[in-house]
A and B are shown apart, each in its own frame.
Chain A
C-alpha cells in the first residue's frame, strides 16, 4: 500500500496542455476517483502515475518517494486497461501468472497465488481457457486478477466498466469494491460516469480541460460543489446567475441578474466559502438541487418563497419532474411520486420554496450564464 502525492504536475503534448497545475494527495488504501468529461486529462494523469508518460513539470511521489521518472516496470502498480489488454496468445492462467513470472516467483508459489487470485475473481474453473473464449465480464475479471496478483502498491483502473452492459456493470462495481476492500489497496478509478463515481469512491477529483476543479467525498462534491462546472457536471442542478446586494454576518441577500422585477434570495453566509468569493469574484450564481426545492399549494412563512406556475410535468417513475416558472426563470423541481394522479398539471399556480440551507453561492467559471 502506498500513498500518492502529485505536486504541481503539468503534461503537455506539443502545444496541447492535457493536464495543468495538478495537486493531489491520495491516502493509503483510499478508493479515489478521477471524474470528468471526455478529453479532460483523466487518462493522462493515470498514465503519469503508471509511468507511461513522464510529466512535463512537477513531481509524482509514492509514499513520499519521488517516482517522477521511474520506468513503468519498476513502479509496482497494477493497471486494468479499458480494453483489458489481455495477452491473446496465453491462457487465463498464463495471463495472471505473467507478472509473477517476471518477478521470478517459484513455481509452486506461483501456482498457488494465481489460483488464489482466480478464485477471488470467481474464475478458478476457467484457468485453462484461452482468453478469447471468455465473455466481456470474465475478461474484465481476468484483467483484475492479473493486476491484483502481483500485490501492487497501487491499483489503477481506466474506465474498466465502459465496455460492459448495464447489468454487468452493476455486478462488476460490487466486485471491484469487494476486491479493493479485500486487498486494502490504494485505488485510482477513472470514469466519466457520475453514478459510478458517487457510489464507489472514498473521494473524487473532478476534472475539466486538464484542470482539477474539486477534490472531496461524494457528499461534498454533490452537496457543496466548488463551482458551476462541478455543480452541473454531477447530477441535475438549478443554476441562477446573481449579484450580491447585502452582506450580513450570517446571511447574504442576492438578487437575480437579468430580470425585470427584483427577485431576492437569502443565502447562508458560510465562513470560508462565501467570504473569499465575494471579494474576488463578481461572477456568481446560486445553485440548488431539484430535489431540494419544495412545491407548496399556499404561500408559507419563511425565506425564499416565490409564486410560480407549472410549465411542464414529466413522469420518471419514482420521481416526478416539474418545471416551475418564477417570473422569467424556470426551476426544475423533483418530487417523489407520492401525490395522487393529476396533482401537478401544466398551468397550475403554485408556490416554491428554496430552503436557505440548500442554496449555495458559487463562482461561475464557464463564462456566460448557464
Chain B
C-alpha cells in the first residue's frame, strides 16, 4: 500500500531516475560482460583465458604498462603537487596568490588539445628542443618526448593539480595550534613535519593518489597521440574494436572496469573510515612571511618560470592557430601569422560543421544532465527509500569507468534494437554521442548538486510547505532558485567537457555528427596543425568564459567547480 503522498512522490521521482540508470549505465555494462563471455558462439571463459595466457602476451603487457604508467604518474604528480601546496599555503611572498591560482591552469586545457600542444612543444620537431638546438648550435635536438616519457609528462602536467588541490585543502584545515603544541613540547621542525603535519595530511594524499591512479588508468588521449608502439589497455580496447575483435574488446573492457571499480570501492571505503580529523574552532591558515630577501626572490622567479611553463601549452595552441595551413612545412619555425584559420572555421561549412555538432550535442547532453542531475540528487539527498546506496553506486559508476569502456558498453548495448532505445539501433546515429556525453557526466552533475543540496537545510522546504505551498511549487520557487548556482557551475563544467570529449567520440562518431575532437584528430593526420589548433583555441575560449561566468555570477571559485 502506498502510505501517503510523500511516499508516492518519492516513487514518482525515483522511478525515472532508476530507469535511466539501469538502461544506460547498468544494462550496457552487463551487455559488455555478456559479450566477453562469448567465444566462438559458445559461452565460456575462453576470452579471459586468452587474455592472461595468450602467447604474445600483448594484453597482459598492456595491462601491466597501464598500471606501471599509472604508478609513475601518481609519483610524479605527487612530487610536484605536494611541495607546491606547501609553498603556496605556508609561505607568503610577492605574487603568492596569483601563482597559486595559476597552479590550476592545466585543468583549463582539454586533454586532446593539451596533448597536441605538448607534441608541438617537446616532440620530435617540437619548438623547444629545436630552439635549444639552434641556440647552442647542436647537431641534433637535445631531447624529445614520445612513448612512455611523453605520456608521463602530459599526465604530470594535468594530474599534479589533483594533489595540489586536495593537499592544499587539507593543509588549510590543520589547526595551527597542533603544530605549535608540538613545538612547545620541544619537537624540532623536522620532527613536527614527520610526526604531526604529515600524518594529518595522509588521508588527502591517499585520496589524491587513488584519484590520479584511476584517471591515468583511463587516460586515452595521451597514449593515443604519444604512445608510439607502447601498449596501454585503454588504447588496446580501441585497437581491438577497430580490428573488429569485439569479444576481445569486451574482455579488455571488463578487466579495465574491474580495476577501476575496485579502486572506486576502495576509495569509498577509505573515505568513510573513521579518521582522526578534528573540528576545532577558529582555524586560520597561517603563513610565514619569507624573510630572507634572496629566498624571497628565488621563490618569485621560480613562480614566474613555473607559470610560464604552465602557460606554454596554451600559448603554443594560440600561436599555431594563427599559422595558416600550408605555410609551415619544412621550416623549423612558422613564419606567416594571420587569422585565416578562424576565418575558415566560421566560413567554410565543412570546417564549421564539427564545431556546430559539438556544441549541439553538448547542449543536448548537458540539458539532460541538468534535469536528470537535479532530480536524482534531490531524491538521493532529501528522500528516504530502501536501496539508496545501490542507486548511489549506479550514479558513481560512470565516473569510475574509463571513457573507452563507456563507449564500448554503448556499442554492445545499442548496436541492436532494445527497449531502452525504443526499438532503434542507436550506434551509427546522431543520438549515440549525446547519450555517451550524458552518461559520462552523470556523476559530475549529481555530485555538484548533492553538495549544494546537502547544504540546504530541510527546514527550508518544510517552511514553504507550512506556508501552504505544494511540493512542486516549493521545488520551483524555493529549492531550485537556491541550488541553481551550484548546479549550474557543475553543469557548465559538464558542458565544456562534452564539447571536448574525445575517447567516447572516437569510438562512436559518424561522418555526419563528428565533433571537434575527431576533426582535430583528422586535421592532425593531414598535418593541418593550424586548423587543429584553431579548434583547440575555441575550446580554451569556451572554458575561460565558463570559468569566468561561474566565478562572477555564481561566486564559485574555479577550484571548487572542479
Q: Please tell me if B462 contacts chain A, counting CB pairs below 8 Å.
A: yes
Chain A contact-residue range equals: 20 to 34
| B168 CB → nearest A CB, Å | 28
CA distance A283 to B478 in the complex (A): 55
Q: How many residues of B are in contact with the other chain, CB < 8 A? A: 20
Pick from B4, B465, B468, B482: contact of A87, CB below 8 A. Answer: B482
| B559 CB → nearest A CB, Å | 23
CB contacts under 8 Å to B, within A58-86, are 69, 71-79, 81-83, 85-86
Q: Please tell me if A54 contacts chain B, counting CB pairs below 8 Å.
A: yes
Task: Assess whether B464 is in contact with A98, with CB atoms less than 8 Å apart.
Answer: yes
| With contact pairs A69-B4, A73-B465, A79-B463 given, residues A88 and B470 touching in the complex (Cβ less than 8 Å) | no
| B483 and chain A: residue at smallest CB distance | A89
- When distances are taken between beta carbons in the complex, the residues of chain A under 8 Å from B462 are 50, 52, 72, 79, 81, 85
| A188 CB → nearest B CB, Å | 13
Q: Please tell me if B275 contacts chain A, counting CB pairs below 8 Å.
A: no
| B3 and chain A: residue at smallest CB distance | A54
Pick from B4, B457, B481: contact of A89, CB below 8 A. Answer: B481
CA distance A86 to B464 in the complex (A): 9
- When distances are taken between beta carbons in the complex, the residues of chain B under 8 Å from A74 are 468
- When distances are taken between beta carbons in the complex, the residues of chain B under 8 Å from A98 are 464, 467, 469, 477
CA distance A74 to B470 in the complex (A): 9
| B374 CB → nearest A CB, Å | 16
- When distances are taken between beta carbons in the complex, the residues of chain A under 8 Å from B469 are 73, 98-99, 102
| A220 CB → nearest B CB, Å | 32
Q: Please tell me if A103 contacts chain B, counting CB pairs below 8 Å.
A: yes
Task: Assess whether A81 is in contact with B459, with CB atoms less than 8 Å apart.
Answer: yes
- When distances are taken between beta carbons in the complex, the residues of chain B under 8 Å from A79 are 462-463, 466
CA distance A77 to B473 in the complex (A): 18
Task: Assess whether A103 is in contact with B460, with CB atoms less than 8 Å apart.
Answer: no
| B354 CB → nearest A CB, Å | 39
- When distances are taken between beta carbons in the complex, the residues of chain B under 8 Å from A102 are 467-469, 473
Q: Please tell me if B5 contacts chain A, counting CB pairs below 8 Å.
A: yes
Q: Please tell me if A150 contacts chain B, counting CB pairs below 8 Å.
A: yes
Task: Assess whether A83 is in contact with B466, with CB atoms less than 8 Å apart.
Answer: no
- When distances are taken between beta carbons in the complex, the residues of chain A under 8 Å from B466 are 50, 72-73, 75, 77-79, 147
- When distances are taken between beta carbons in the complex, the residues of chain A under 8 Å from B457 are 83, 85
Contact with A along B441-478 (1 / 0, CB 8 A): 00000000000000001011011111111100100011
CB contacts under 8 Å to A, within B1-16, are 4-6
- When distances are taken between beta carbons in the complex, the residues of chain A under 8 Å from B5 are 71
CA distance A172 to B524 in the complex (A): 72
CA distance A98 to B459 in the complex (A): 15
- When distances are taken between beta carbons in the complex, the residues of chain A under 8 Å from B463 are 79, 81, 85-87, 146
| A102 CB → nearest B CB, Å | 4
Q: Is the interface of B mostly helix, strand, loop or mixed?
A: helix
CA distance A147 to B468 in the complex (A): 11
Task: Assess whether A99 is in contact with B467, with CB atoms less than 8 Å apart.
Answer: yes
| B474 and chain A: residue at smallest CB distance | A73
CA distance A99 to B469 in the complex (A): 7
Pick from A78, A85, A103, A146: contact of B459, CB below 8 A. Answer: A85
Count chain A CB atoms within 10 A of each CB in B6, B466, B470, B477 and give the residue with the most.
B466
CA distance A264 to B466 in the complex (A): 56
- When distances are taken between beta carbons in the complex, the residues of chain B under 8 Å from A77 are 466
- When distances are taken between beta carbons in the complex, the residues of chain B under 8 Å from A103 are 468
Task: Assess whether B459 is in contact with A72, with CB atoms less than 8 Å apart.
Answer: no
CA distance A88 to B485 in the complex (A): 13
| A81 and chain B: residue at smallest CB distance | B459
CA distance A69 to B8 in the complex (A): 14
- When distances are taken between beta carbons in the complex, the residues of chain B under 8 Å from A99 are 467-469
| B398 CB → nearest A CB, Å | 31
CA distance A50 to B462 in the complex (A): 9
Count chain B CB atoms within 10 A of each CB in A50, A73, A76, A146 and give the residue with the most.
A73
Pick from A71, A88, A147: contact of B482, CB below 8 A. Answer: A88
Contact with B along A119-138 (1 / 0, CB 8 A): 00000000000000000000
Count chain A CB atoms within 10 A of each CB in B4, B460, B463, B482 and give the residue with the most.
B463
CA distance A90 to B344 in the complex (A): 48
CA distance A286 to B468 in the complex (A): 50
Contact with B along A278-316 (1 / 0, CB 8 A): 000000000000000000000000000000000000000
Task: Assess whether B468 is in contact with A54, with CB atoms less than 8 Å apart.
Answer: no
| B482 and chain A: residue at smallest CB distance | A89
- When distances are taken between beta carbons in the complex, the residues of chain B under 8 Å from A89 are 478, 481-482
Task: Assess whether B464 is in contact with A87, with CB atoms less than 8 Å apart.
Answer: yes
- When distances are taken between beta carbons in the complex, the residues of chain B under 8 Å from A146 are 463, 467
- When distances are taken between beta carbons in the complex, the residues of chain B under 8 Å from A72 are 462, 465-466
- When distances are taken between beta carbons in the complex, the residues of chain B under 8 Å from A75 are 466
| A40 CB → nearest B CB, Å | 20
| A73 CB → nearest B CB, Å | 5
Count chain A CB atoms within 10 A of each CB in B5, B462, B467 and give the residue with the most.
B467
CA distance A72 to B470 in the complex (A): 9
- When distances are taken between beta carbons in the complex, the residues of chain B under 8 Å from A150 are 467-468
| A114 CB → nearest B CB, Å | 13
Task: Assess whether A73 is in contact with B470, with CB atoms less than 8 Å apart.
Answer: yes
- When distances are taken between beta carbons in the complex, the residues of chain A under 8 Å from B459 are 81-83, 85
Contact with B along A139-180 (1 / 0, CB 8 A): 000000011001000000000000000000000000000000
| A55 CB → nearest B CB, Å | 12
- When distances are taken between beta carbons in the complex, the residues of chain A under 8 Å from B478 are 87, 89
- When distances are taken between beta carbons in the complex, the residues of chain A under 8 Å from B4 are 54, 69, 71
| A2 CB → nearest B CB, Å | 15
- When distances are taken between beta carbons in the complex, the residues of chain A under 8 Å from B6 are 71
Contact with B along A30-53 (1 / 0, CB 8 A): 000000000000000000001010
CB contacts under 8 Å to B, within A230-255, are none
| A360 CB → nearest B CB, Å | 41
- When distances are taken between beta carbons in the complex, the residues of chain B under 8 Å from A69 are 4
- When distances are taken between beta carbons in the complex, the residues of chain A under 8 Å from B465 are 52, 71-73
CA distance A147 to B481 in the complex (A): 21
| A183 CB → nearest B CB, Å | 16
| A72 and chain B: residue at smallest CB distance | B465
CB contacts under 8 Å to B, within A201-251, are none
| A149 CB → nearest B CB, Å | 9
CA distance A81 to B462 in the complex (A): 9
Count chain A CB atoms within 10 A of each CB in B6, B464, B473 and give the residue with the most.
B464
| A123 CB → nearest B CB, Å | 18
Task: Assess whether A85 is in contact with B473, with CB atoms less than 8 Å apart.
Answer: no
- When distances are taken between beta carbons in the complex, the residues of chain A under 8 Å from B482 are 87-89
| B469 CB → nearest A CB, Å | 5
CA distance A177 to B481 in the complex (A): 34
| B553 CB → nearest A CB, Å | 14
- When distances are taken between beta carbons in the complex, the residues of chain B under 8 Å from A54 are 4
| B6 and chain A: residue at smallest CB distance | A71
CA distance A146 to B464 in the complex (A): 10
- When distances are taken between beta carbons in the complex, the residues of chain A under 8 Å from B460 are 85, 87-88
| A69 and chain B: residue at smallest CB distance | B4
Contact with A along B416-456 (1 / 0, CB 8 A): 00000000000000000000000000000000000000000
CA distance A146 to B477 in the complex (A): 16
CA distance A315 to B430 in the complex (A): 86
CA distance A87 to B476 in the complex (A): 13
Q: List 24 A-B contacts (CB under 8 A).
A: A52-B465, A71-B6, A72-B462, A72-B465, A73-B465, A73-B466, A73-B467, A73-B468, A73-B470, A79-B462, A79-B463, A81-B459, A81-B462, A82-B459, A83-B459, A85-B460, A86-B463, A87-B460, A87-B463, A87-B464, A88-B460, A89-B482, A98-B469, A99-B467
9 smallest beta-carbon distances between A and B, as pairs: A99-B467, A85-B459, A85-B463, A102-B468, A79-B466, A81-B459, A72-B465, A102-B469, A73-B465
Q: A73-B467, A88-B460, A98-B477 are in contact. List 16 more A-B contacts (CB 8 A).
A: A50-B462, A50-B466, A71-B5, A71-B465, A72-B462, A73-B466, A77-B466, A79-B463, A82-B459, A85-B457, A85-B459, A85-B463, A99-B467, A102-B467, A102-B473, A150-B467
